[in-house]
Amino acid sequence: MNVKTAQDRAAAMSKADELAAQAKAGELDDAGKTELAGLVEEVKAFDERVSKALESKTLIDAVAALGGEPKTGEDGEKSGEALTGRKYLAFSGRKARAMSGNLSKAMLGGVGTKALVSSGSVVTGTPLENQSPIELQRIPTSLLDVLPVKVHGTPRYRYLRQTSRDNQAAPWTSGAKPESSYGIESVDAELTVIAHVSDGLNEYDVLDNAELAGFVEAEMLHGLRRAVEAQVIGGSGTAPNLRGILNTSGIVVQAFATDLVTTTRKAITALESAAFVPHAFAMAPQVWEAISLQRNTGGSFDLGNVAVDRAAQRLHGVPVVVSTALPAGKALLLDQSSVRVDVDSAGVLTKWGTVGNDFAENVIRVRTESRFGVSVLRPGGVVSIETE
């Protein structure tokens, strides 16, 4: 693979991750090893070219003018982040499974050791992917899968939110040039700890079944993901809650119109009319089912095979994310550049130990936590859809 662009790099990293996983499992043949080595060299060469390019202040200024985020130093972002592509949360799939496997190894003191470490901790970087499931032509399992992520070095951060957009660009020959107006406000935000603790685990159960610790951690990560998704979508903004998408002022509201198919199509029109690009719907399972089963007066499925593609999970050509975090009567349509999830550089912390009478009762508990935030950068790129 010849890595020339940020998209090429993302694809190369995704393939390298797959090959590395095969190598770790002892399943990679010589051809695969050669391919993996080549991908590593291609990515290194690309990163070197980016690093040299960023030494030019002219290019840095050009990136900033295009909406990139060159390094400021206050958050510790990499200088080339704007050129090397977005990141996405990976609380499910291969990387999540790897995290849960790390817990069982740590609790048992290492592979092959038949002894439980009575207390301890595992810190792993927040699991991130270089591409969203949509880019990889996979069905997303959470709204978090499709929202870009920004990693912060400090819990407090600041971002710019667009409040208005008035484009007046037009042909010009002489006199005063057309003047466009863009309303921007600075928003101060802070990452919030989201955490939970398991109920007690019998120590001998963990000793007798090494997979139990990994299973518990997988469930803890799943619970953490659901809590984060609920906050990102509907957090009230009252401390310690995040201010979620639905409670951010300035988002577009699409009233229910005739039926769900009509309403969702009107939401697309509302987004496109404001020059945003529909990237993904988010809707409750019951709403997605109602759309899929909608029939006309003749009894036939109203949508046929046109509006709904169940295999790709698309509606009007736009990917659909099914989410249980949406409140009743609400769905969302998002432009991808309008919302992001914020995380810290410390990653996900998992600890295990005892409280109260746990020591006497041979019980241990697991705690999983991390810090998160949500930034609605362009409220006009979000449509809140009334589904009833």
Kindly state whether residue 194 falls inside one of the protein's structural domains: yes
DSSP, collapsed to helix, strand or coil, labels residue 227 as helix
Q: Is residue 252 part of a domain?
A: yes
More confident position, 72 or 283: 283
pLDDT of residue 338: 94
Tally of domains within the chain: 1
208 located within any domain: yes
Residue 100 within a domain:
yes
CA R_g for the chain = 24
Q: Residue 367 belongs to what domain range?
A: 86-166+178-388
Model pLDDT, residue 226: 94
Q: Which of 74-88, 115-129, 294-308 has the lowest mean pLDDT?
A: 74-88
What is the per-residue pLDDT for 206?
83
Q: Which pLDDT score, from 0 to 100, does residue 154 have? A: 92
Q: Which two tokens stand for residue 78?
A: 């990499």
Secondary structure E strands in the chain = 87-89, 120-124, 128-129, 148-152, 156-166, 181-190, 192-197, 201-202, 252-254, 280-283, 308-309, 314-315, 318-322, 330-334, 339-344, 348-353, 363-376, 382-386
Question: What pLDDT is recorded for position 45?
Answer: 81
Rounded CA separation 99/215 (Å):
11
pLDDT over threshold 90, residue 150: yes
Q: Band of the pLDDT at 84, cuts 50, 70, 90?
A: very low
Q: What is the CATH number of the domain that holds 144?
A: 3.30.2400.10
pLDDT at 27: 81
Binned at pLDDT 50, 70 and 90, residue 240 comes out as very high
How many DSSP H helices and E strands does the chain contain? Answer: 8, 18
Q: Mind listing the pLDDT tens digit for each residue in 166-180?
A: 889 999 999 999 999
Which residue has 């060469």 as its token pair?
45
The pLDDT tens digits of the residues spanning 339-362 come to 999 999 988 998 989 989 998 999
Evaluate whether residue 204 is within a structural domain.
Answer: yes
Residue 56 belongs to some domain of the structure: no
What residue has token string 């698309």?
314
Contact 84, 6 (CB under 8 A): yes
Does any domain span residue 279? yes
Note the pLDDT tens digit of each residue in 19-47: 887 777 778 888 888 888 888 888 888 77
